[in-house]
């Protein structure tokens, strides 16, 4: 089947996810700078989530340039990936409100881990469909390990977990180069 419908659907879902995230933000309790400063955990989790989603949007576009058609495995993997991403607004709001609590941190970073795993699986299916070789580079492996560690150990050091996840996001702002793109 043609890839255009999948890309349009994915773009729409990602746009809705980002819209829900911004709608979840509440205004400061007052008009003073300290009132805005009090919202820093919420604003920082929103920023990290927004960048996370933006990076995936860019990389999704790039890997789908490798193919002209999608098969059922790619289609369902993309739907599973979007399902996982659809939890980002919920996870962002929860971790923004309880930024040092184990459960919100584990859920937030676990969602990032699940999205990364599914994205790598989708890329694998795309390379299989094109007859190209799937390659997990060091950046891919390190990203998965960091998300796993932040999921499991983020409750011990929330600040370190946020910094590690933000570092992975910064690392992916410049996407991998694909010879065919």
List, as one string, the DSSP characters of 1-35. Answer: -BSHHHHHHHHHHHHHHHHHHHHH----SSSSHHH
pTM: 0.92
Q: What does the block give as tokens for 4?
A: 């255009």
Position of tokens 């309880």? 98
Q: What is the pLDDT along the chain (181 residues), one digit of tens a residue?
A: 889 999 999 999 999 999 999 999 889 999 999 999 999 999 999 999 999 999 999 999 999 999 999 999 999 999 999 999 999 999 999 999 999 999 999 999 999 999 999 999 999 999 999 988 888 889 999 999 999 999 999 889 999 999 999 999 999 988 877 555 4
For 22-73, what is each residue's pLDDT tens digit? 999 889 999 999 999 999 999 999 999 999 999 999 999 999 999 999 999 9
Q: Taking the CB of residue 136, how many other CB atoms lie within 10 A of it?
A: 11
3-state secondary structure of 69: strand
CA dist 101 → 107, 137, 158 (Å):
10, 33, 8
Closest CA to 81 of 176, 17, 137, 163: 17
* Cα 128 versus chain centre, distance: 23
Q: Bridge-partner residues for 2, per DSSP?
A: 69
Q: Per-domain residue ranges for the chain?
A: 4-172
């Amino acid at each position: 089947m043609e890839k255009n419908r999948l890309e349009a659907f994915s773009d729409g879902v990602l746009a809705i996810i980002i819209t829900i995230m911004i709608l979840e933000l509440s205004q400061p309790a007052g008009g003073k700078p300290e009132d805005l400063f009090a919202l820093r955990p919420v604003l920082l989790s929103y920023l990290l989530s927004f960048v996370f989603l933006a990076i995936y949007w860019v990389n999704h576009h790039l890997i789908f340039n490798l193919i002209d058609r999608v098969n059922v495995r790619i289609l369902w993997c993309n739907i599973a990936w979007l399902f996982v991403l659809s939890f980002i607004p919920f996870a962002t709001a929860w971790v923004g409100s309880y930024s040092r609590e184990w459960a919100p941190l584990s859920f937030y970073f676990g969602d990032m881990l699940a999205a990364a795993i599914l994205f790598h699986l989708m890329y694998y299916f795309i390379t299989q469909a094109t007859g190209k070789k799937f390659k997990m580079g060091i950046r891919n492996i390190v990203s998965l390990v960091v998300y796993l560690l932040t999921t499991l150990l983020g409750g011990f050091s929330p600040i370190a977990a946020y910094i590690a996840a933000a570092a992975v996001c910064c690392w992916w702002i410049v996407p991998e180069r694909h010879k065919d793109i």
